[in-house]
Amino acid sequence: MGDADLAPIPNAKVEPKGFRIGGGAVLTDAAGEFEVSGGPRCSQSGATSNWGIDYLRVSREGWGVALVDPCAEAPWAEPIRLRPGASLAGRLEGVPKGCWINVVAAAPDLMWPPRSGLMRSDESWRAYTDEEGKFEISNLPAQVPLTVSAPAPPGRGSESIERRVVLVPGERRWLDLGLPPPEKKSEAVEESQPGTTAARWILVDVSASNRWLGPDLTWFEFVRAGRLKKHLVGGGRWHVHQHRACNHLEITPGRHVLVGRHADGSIGVAEVEVAETAALLEHRMELAPGGLVRIDGSALESEARISLSSAGLQFAVFELIPNVVRYEVVPSGRISLAASSGDRAMEAREIGVPAGAVVDVRL
């Protein structure tokens, strides 16, 4: 286990999480290595019945947190990269002692290796104010978006206070929750047009055509489209895949980009056409070994919209906040990265990504 520079991290706590696992937490040795007892639980369909480790929670004093997928065998899965740590302190005026302050980091931002198909709830930390309304939370992950929330002080309305922050490694940030929040952009309200009908959702049946890729570790998603279809699984409950991504998808008619991924780092990108009269979209996708891109937004001055393309198909679109470091699994070969901030478009760049390699990109 190491940090972004791959230096070993000793005395990190490794906690196996799962169903009827054999052992408890262990610490990494001087070389950053560890061993836990029990095998991984890598089946979607058996998520409610079989035994094993769903994920490993890795943490250390002064560092952040990593949520490790024991089923992933991507070339970059080892060493595990632990996010650097930071702390958040601040004050909330007009509240009694013991008022809660909550900090949440989205689970996908903490997972290693990234985009493997591991699913779990977000990570959260909580502190309580003292007599002066002050609070402090240590060992928070840096370089990822954090949502800070607290109840509104008496007399200031019923809505809770919420802020979004990104911490720099080693930073102790002071956050005054009593200040007015940043202005929110007005959201456009979509109005139904005369003569239009509600979207028709079509069931999707997709799979990888590669014979060596097991179905439980392959997962698919549409770029800026599609949705999960409600379905019953074991016990009559909805969407109980628990720790692996769900492939019960639906899509509307039209032309869409479909992305397939596997826990071994393979990826595929394809454009699919869904006819207006279709009752079912069936697609078999060939996956190939991909690479990992580490996108560093430390030099950004404002939030940027990032899009990644391969062979002319846009396979990833996301917002990148200044100081965030984001990992994306990409097809090997040449990919295109385009960025824009507000009305300003940055110069697009071509990036060569060898299969199985980790490539650093600084914006």
Question: Mapping DSSP to helix (H, G, I), strand (E, B) and coil, where does residue 105 land?
Answer: strand
Contacts of 230 (CB under 8 A, 6+ apart): 238, 239
Domain boundary among 120, 142, 176: 176
Q: Let me know if residue 114 belongs to a domain.
A: yes
CA 237-243-249 angle, 5° bins? 65
Specify the amino acid at residue 159: E
Angle (nearest 5°) at CA 339 between 305 and 2: 80
Shared domain for 161 and 233, answered yes or no, is no
**Domain range holding 210?**
202-277
Sign of the torsion angle spanned by Cα atoms 113, 137, 33, 57: negative
Locate the DSSP E strands across 36-122. Answer: 52-59, 65-68, 85-91, 100-105, 111-112
Does 223 lie in the same domain as 166?
Answer: no
CA–CA distance, 76 with 356 (Å, rounded to integer): 7
DSSP string, 133-192: SEEEEEEEESSSEEEEEEPPPTTS-SSPEEEEEEPPTT-EEEEETTSPPPPPPPPPPP-P
Residue 179 confidence (pLDDT): 58
Sign of the torsion formed by the C-alpha atoms of 23, 140, 104 and 327 = negative
Two structure tokens written together for 309: 């393309």
Residue 336's alpha-carbon distances to 228, 269, 308, 322, in angstroms, are 29, 14, 6, 21
Residue 40 inside a domain? The answer is no
H-type helices in 25-165, by residue range?
none
Structure tokens at 53: 């480790």
CA 305, CA 229: separation in Å to the nearest integer?
28
Residue 109 φ/ψ, nearest 5 degrees: -75, -15
In a domain, 69, yes or no: no
- Measured distance CA(126)–CA(148) in Å, rounded: 10
d(CA 163, CA 171): 17
Query: What is the C-alpha to C-alpha distance for residues 359 and 334, in angstroms, rounded to an integer?
Result: 12
pLDDT score for 47: 46
- Structural domain contains residue 138: yes
Q: How many CA atoms lie within 13 A of 229 on its CB side?
A: 16
pLDDT of 215 reads 60
For residue 1, which of 53, 64, 44 has the smallest C-alpha distance? 64
In tens digits, the chain (363 residues) has pLDDT values of 655 667 899 999 999 998 777 678 999 999 999 999 888 888 765 444 567 888 999 999 999 999 999 999 999 999 999 999 999 999 988 888 999 999 999 999 999 999 999 988 899 999 999 999 999 999 999 999 999 999 887 766 667 889 999 999 999 999 988 755 555 444 443 333 344 346 788 989 888 887 566 667 889 999 988 888 876 555 555 555 667 888 889 999 999 999 999 999 999 999 999 998 888 999 999 999 999 999 999 999 999 999 999 999 999 999 999 999 999 999 999 999 999 988 788 888 999 999 999 999 998
What is the spatial distance between Cα 94 and Cα 87, in angstroms, rounded to a whole number?
23
CATH number at residue 296: 2.60.40.10
Give residue-wise pLDDT tens across range 156-207: 666 788 999 999 999 999 998 875 555 544 444 333 334 434 678 898 988 8
Residues 267, 207 share a domain: yes
- The tally of domains found in the chain comes to 3
**Residue 259 is assigned to a structural domain of this protein:** yes
Rounded to whole angstroms, the Cα distance separating 108 from 56 reads 14
Please name which of 32, 26, 125, 15 lies closest in space to residue 70, comparing C-alpha atoms: 15
Domain match, 90 and 172 both: yes
Please check whether residue 283 lies inside any domain of the structure: no
Flag whether 344 is in a domain: yes
Query: Among 136, 158, 176, which residue terminates a domain?
Result: 176
Of 189, 208, 198, whose CA–CA distance to 269 is shortest?
208
Tokens (6 digits) for 9: 């991290």
Check whether residue 255 and residue 310 sit in a common domain: no
pTM of the complete model: 0.88
Final residue of a structural domain among 242, 277, 312: 277
* Domain match, 294 and 273 both: no
The CATH number of residue 131's host domain is: 2.60.40.1120
89 and 164, same domain (yes or no): yes
